[in-house]
Amino acid sequence: MIRKKDELDKMRRAGKVVAEIHDVTRAAIRPGVTTMDLNNLAAEVLAKRNARSNFLNYHGFPAVICTSPNDMIVHGIPGDYELQEGDIISIDAGAIVEGYHGDAAYTAGVGEVSATAKRLMEVTERSLWAGIDKLVVGGRLHEVGRAVQEVAEKAGYSVVREYVGHAIGTEMHESPQVPNYWPGSPGPTLKAGMVYAVEPMVNVGSYETYVLDDDWSVMTEDGMLSAHFEHTIAVTENGPEVFTVA
Ligand code: MG
């Protein structure tokens, strides 16, 4: 879908709200803080900015952010889990401003983390930016996944297959999907005004996943660490414009 200027303006504003949620939650991450504490901070930002949550009640999801520690990949439900020294925690957040959506995620360490955890986070974030660089007019959408996969696999890691990025606009998840790997075809040709959420999930071990009994929490099958970084980005005549930054 091609978005008009006024639509892009609203998405830009939604993106700023998501970036603020990232800043506020990141600043609060330390041992002893619960994932519900982080959710409550995110809810305060949404209220202060007159934004609505696109996560709350999405297929019944009970919170405004997803909080996924360690071997949990995505979709963790905030609760009484207390962050521990050495954990990594993935925070996925979204906002709706005047009907338009923003969506972004990051992974952060709690206190001092292992060298493996640090490297995983660095590689995953770098893979996101390698993908973002492919969002140029005339490019092909699946070059994004090819670039993400190359960075992750060169580092010896694997890219999750079952969960992918997506177009975004008046809905959080719009078509087409944005795989984080090369799916075997170049995909749609990119035009100015298209907006995508690119969101690599990178695992230290294999890319296999399973879902906990809560029907939400997605885990690595082998119990090894996973990281998740995401931005909402517009394709423009001047190159990719990332909306979910402060
Ligand atoms: Mg997303």
Q: What is the pLDDT of residues 23-44, one digit of tens each?
A: 999 999 999 999 999 999 999 9
CATH of the domain at 80: 3.90.230.10
Residue 116 dihedral angles phi and psi, to the nearest 5°: -65, -45
Contacts for 211 with CB less than 8 Å, ≥ 6 apart: 217, 218, 219
pLDDT by residue (tens digit) across 126-175? 999 999 999 999 999 999 999 999 999 999 999 999 999 999 999 999 99
Distance between CA atoms of residues 104 and 4, nearest Å: 22
Residues that place a CB less than 5 A from ion ligand 1: 103, 197, 199
Domain count, the chain: 1
Proportion of the chain above pLDDT 70, given as a percent: 100
Nearest to 20 by CA among 101, 86, 104, 81: 104
Tokens of 60: 């019944």
Report how far ligand 1's centroid is from the alpha carbon of 230 (Å): 7
Report how far ligand 1's centroid is from the alpha carbon of 25 (Å): 18
Tokens of 171: 């809905």
3-state secondary structure of 196: strand
Domain containing 113: what range? Answer: 5-242
Report how far ligand 1's centroid is from the alpha carbon of 89 (Å): 17
Report how far ligand 1's centroid is from the alpha carbon of 34 (Å): 23
Report how far ligand 1's centroid is from the alpha carbon of 67 (Å): 14
Distance between CA atoms of residues 54 and 172, nearest Å: 7
Report how far ligand 1's centroid is from the alpha carbon of 104 (Å): 6
pLDDT by residue (tens digit) across 174-225? 999 999 999 999 999 999 999 999 999 999 999 999 999 999 999 999 999 9
Report how far ligand 1's centroid is from the alpha carbon of 82 (Å): 25
Q: Report the pLDDT value the prediction gives residue 75, as an integer from 0 to 100.
A: 98
Which region holds residue 98: left if phi is over 0, alpha if psi is between -120 and 50, else beta?
left
Report how far ligand 1's centroid is from the alpha carbon of 165 (Å): 6
